[in-house]
């Protein structure tokens, strides 16, 4: 909506900042609650032990030998997907966030992958660990960070709204109109 229409309706810049702060707060709380709901799978993953047999159960993970067949790059040339063979079957994973030396991810390289609950959660190639988007710990941390950032933006926007109102000599909550004199 154009600015002149907002001002005509009595909406000030300070009110706009407060409303945006409220929206950031709501989104931040939703992301934080969702991140907290991911705690059980993250805990299960971090407490899982290596499987002793191939069909042991769901409370363990398999470390699988892999051979990389190709890698995909993003817009800025960074490696973001890895195609590999696990026991002759092709798979593709998206790499999670993090700074790492991706020069070892080349076609023909070999390494290992962690398979947990049917998902590849991390790759290790040439001694370097790469987490994938299916890693429950990474998923939980990303949602928690997004929630904290949303709440922090809300606090900053609310503070800016207060400063705007103080600098422009306006109260956030205008005083009620006095009662008319009785005659």
> pLDDT for 85-100, tens place per residue?
998 899 999 888 777 7
- Whether the pLDDT of residue 1 is over 90: the answer is no
Q: What global pTM score does this model have?
A: 0.72
The CB-side HSE value for 171 (13 A sphere, CA atoms) comes to 4
At 175, the pLDDT band (50, 70, 90 cuts) reads: low
User: What pLDDT score does 155 carry?
Assistant: 95
- Cα 110 to Cα 68: distance, rounded to the nearest angstrom: 6
Write down the pLDDT at residue 8: 47
**Domain range annotation of the chain:** 50-133
Lowest mean pLDDT among 15-19, 51-55, 101-105, 112-116: 51-55
- Given a cut of 90, is residue 182 above it in pLDDT? no
| Spatial contact of 130 and 122, defined as CB atoms under 8 Å apart | yes
User: What six digits make up the tokens of 91?
Assistant: 């798979």
The secondary element (H helix, E strand) that includes residue 112 is strand 110-116
The bridge status of strand 60-73 relative to strand 119-125 is unpaired
Average pLDDT over residues 136-162: 93
CATH of domain 50-133: 2.40.50
| Residue pair 21/155 in contact by the 8 Å Cβ criterion | yes
Report d(CA 113, CA 69) in Å as an integer.
14
Average pLDDT value for residue range 172-177: 62
């Amino acid at each position: 909506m154009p600015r002149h229409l907002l001002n005509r309706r009595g909406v000030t810049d300070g009110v706009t900042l407060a409303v945006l702060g409220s929206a950031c707060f709501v989104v931040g709380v939703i992301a934080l609650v969702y991140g907290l709901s991911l705690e059980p799978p993250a805990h299960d993953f971090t407490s899982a032990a290596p499987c002793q047999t191939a069909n042991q159960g769901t409370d363990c993970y398999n470390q699988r030998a892999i051979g990389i067949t190709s890698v995909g790059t993003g817009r800025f040339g960074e490696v973001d997907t890895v195609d590999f063979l696990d026991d002759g079957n092709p798979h593709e994973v998206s790499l999670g966030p993090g700074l790492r030396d991706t020069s070892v991810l080349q076609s023909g390289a070999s390494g290992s992958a962690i398979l947990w609950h049917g998902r590849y959660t991390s790759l290790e190639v040439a001694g370097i660990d790469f987490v994938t988007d299916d890693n429950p710990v990474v998923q939980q941390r990303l949602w928690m960070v997004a929630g904290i950032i949303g709440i922090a933006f809300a606090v900053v926007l609310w503070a800016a709204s207060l400063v705007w109102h103080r600098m422009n000599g306006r109260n956030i909550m205008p005083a009620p109109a006095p009662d008319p004199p009785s005659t």
